[in-house]
Structure 1
């Protein structure tokens, strides 16, 4: 498996990955990434300063992805965004490798990393806690992902 920065040709595969995972967890609804207007164009979305998206490619297929982006009003805090992996990829260690790459980038630009997720994504919540993310009682700000009910912060 190869971890690399997103390319324009990956847009449709990344959207398919995210939508497949959201359906799996019953998160194919407003208030989640399901309704993000840029879901099918991450290559362009992540070209801004302080933003970057990586994919994991296996046999020319994107099997996982994760990004970093800024948070309005919090210049020293980034957001871990759209970290998803197909079910058959989970538990292989590639998500840990991907997170390491993403957080290494984040350390060069930010002091802390925030994320939002759903409580029913049990394995993901355990993964974030294992990797040093601390649970918060409430979100940092008024996110468009109002359906998310679990929030974390990690000092980089």
Structure 2
């Protein structure tokens, strides 16, 4: 059995992570506009998460990146609220409890940075993701908070941490 490891992103991971995320979005039938697909940051995740109170994690099986997720301050939001960003998993990683491990890593980081709540946006069709978020204690909220720029994402959730 190959070892699973979750660690902060490194500069050398940028291209592999961007490719994995775009493949997942295409597989899920997500729109390419108003989602992470078109984010300029997607090709520079290492650089993007070098700011204060931010971290982006990659999930590796051996040396292959099978998942990723990040925590960052919510843009134009309350400084006590972070956003769980760009959480995606290759189909090979799904159904193995790895999403829960990644979620815990992200929430532990968020708590260590003094955040009190975590916010996430997703697409209505991403039911497996919503199931993970609900299982992790997130609850649906009626409207968007902050300014993520992902106008195609119309499902909003939040959790106290």
In the superposition, the TM-score normalised over structure 2's length comes to 0.94
- When the two chains are superposed, the root-mean-square deviation of aligned CA atoms in Å is 1.0
Contact 1:19/1:28 (8 A) holds in 2: no
Deviations 1:80-123 (A, max 9, x none): 00000011211111111111011001012200000000110111
SS at match of 2:41: coil
**Corresponding residue number in structure 2 for 1:11:** 14
Deviations 1:27-55 (A, max 9, x none): 14110001101101101110100110000
Q: How far off its partner does 1:143 sit?
A: 3.0
In the alignment, structure 1 segments of 5+ residues that lack a partner are none
SS at match of 2:95: coil
**Corresponding residue number in structure 2 for 1:137:** 142
**Corresponding residue number in structure 1 for 2:106:** 102
In the alignment, structure 2 segments of 5+ residues that lack a partner are none
Deviations 1:49-92 (A, max 9, x none): 01100001112111000000011231000000000001121111
**Corresponding residue number in structure 1 for 2:43:** 40
How many Å separate the matches in 2 of 1:33 and 1:51?
17
In the superposition, the TM-score normalised over structure 1's length comes to 0.97
How many residue pairs end up in the alignment?
156
How many Å separate the matches in 2 of 1:134 and 1:120?
17
